[in-house]
Amino acid sequence: MDSPDFRAILERIAEEIERTPGRGRPADYIPALAARDPRHFGMAVAEPDGTVYGVGDWREPFSTQSITKVFTLALDLAREGDALWEHVGREPSGNPFNSLVQLEYENGIPRNPFINAGALVVTDRLHTRTGDAAGTLLSFLRTESGNPGLDFDPQIAASESAHGDRNAALAHFMASYGNIDNPVPVLLDQYFRQCSLTASCADLALATAFLARHGLRADGTRLLTRSQAKQVNAVMLTCGTYDAAGDFAYRVGLPGKSGVGGGIIAVVPGRCTLCVWSPGLDERGNSVAGVAALDRFTTLTGLSIF
């Protein structure tokens, strides 16, 4: 099967997005996110061999936020395998309102690794296994993206921490069920640092490519088994976009993971990975222009999994 002409398709999408009014509003709970101009738009496609195409602000660093949850999941799954699933589920979580009641109803086991409670558990476990969850993540991302300058943003991490009462509540609540190993302040420090990672569309499309390569890293060594890579894609599809996972599957039809910084990564298994960024969000926390661009991408290329 020939590859589509990704360069031409990206140009066409960028033009269409340019002409489309309405970009949503940047997240405003911390200043660094609120300050981004919603007119930013960047998009990158990486092929499994490391070729990368881009358009617009595709080399501009932005705050990755929840996108890092995918990498933390993969890094822990690579280390502990299926034992992870005794501590976090892999079912969609229903709406945000339920996060706490479900946690209570299910005895401190979060529904999936991509809601905050679940990501806290995964970070906790990775930290126990490595002694440095955030450092493990950073090292992996620098290598896979080929960008040694990738780093956390201490100011954003501090802002997250200052607004971190809800995450602290989740962590203590799960600790009361014995589902957290590390002291809560240690865990939160690790977690907020991960959220603060700054990277570009190019960086993230490349760093995600192991999921299009069925688990192989850029250097050809194996991070995940073929089956595990498929499983991470499945969890992204069913749980990757907050309470809009069904809608995202319906419109875009690709495994994806969004962050409140306005970025979204997506995977066409075996074919390519994508990262799109535009800071304006819809009411469910996903980038307005980002979802629209991915929707156009699957329509123009026919690359949906469905």
Which residues contact its own copies by CB under 8 A? 1, 89-95, 97-98, 100-106, 111-112, 165-166, 168-173, 175-176, 184, 227, 229-231, 233-235, 237-239, 243-247, 249-250, 253, 255, 269, 299, 304-306
CB of 66 to its own copies, least distance (A): 17
Shortest distance (Å) from residue 37 CB to its own copies: 28
The nearer residue to its own copies, 215 or 259, going by C-beta atoms, is 215
For residue 268, say whether it is annotated as part of any ligand binding site: no
CA-based max dimension of the chain = 54
Among 66, 78, 44, smallest CA distance to 231 is for 78
**Contact indicator for 267, 254 with CB cutoff of 8 Å:** yes
287 assigned ligand-binding residue: no
Q: Does the annotation list 252 as a binding residue?
A: no
Shortest distance, CB of residue 151 to its own copies, whole angstroms?
28
Number of Cβ within 10 Å of residue 91's Cβ equals 13
**Cβ count near 27 (within 10 Å):** 20
Active site residue 177: no
The catalytic residue among 66, 93, 145, 258 is: 66
Annotated binding residue 53: no
Q: Element (H or E) spanning 63, and its range?
A: strand 62-63
* Ligand-binding site membership of 98 (annotated): no
Distance from C-alpha of 234 to C-alpha of 187, rounded to nearest angstrom? 27
Catalytic residue among 53, 99, 159, 242: 242
**Residue 254: closest CA among 296, 304, 214:** 304
CB of 148 to its own copies, least distance (A): 31
Q: Is 53 helix (H, G, I), strand (E, B) or coil?
A: strand
> Which positions make up the binding site for substrate?
66, 116, 160, 167, 191, 242, 260
Enumerate the active-site residues: 66, 69, 191, 242, 260
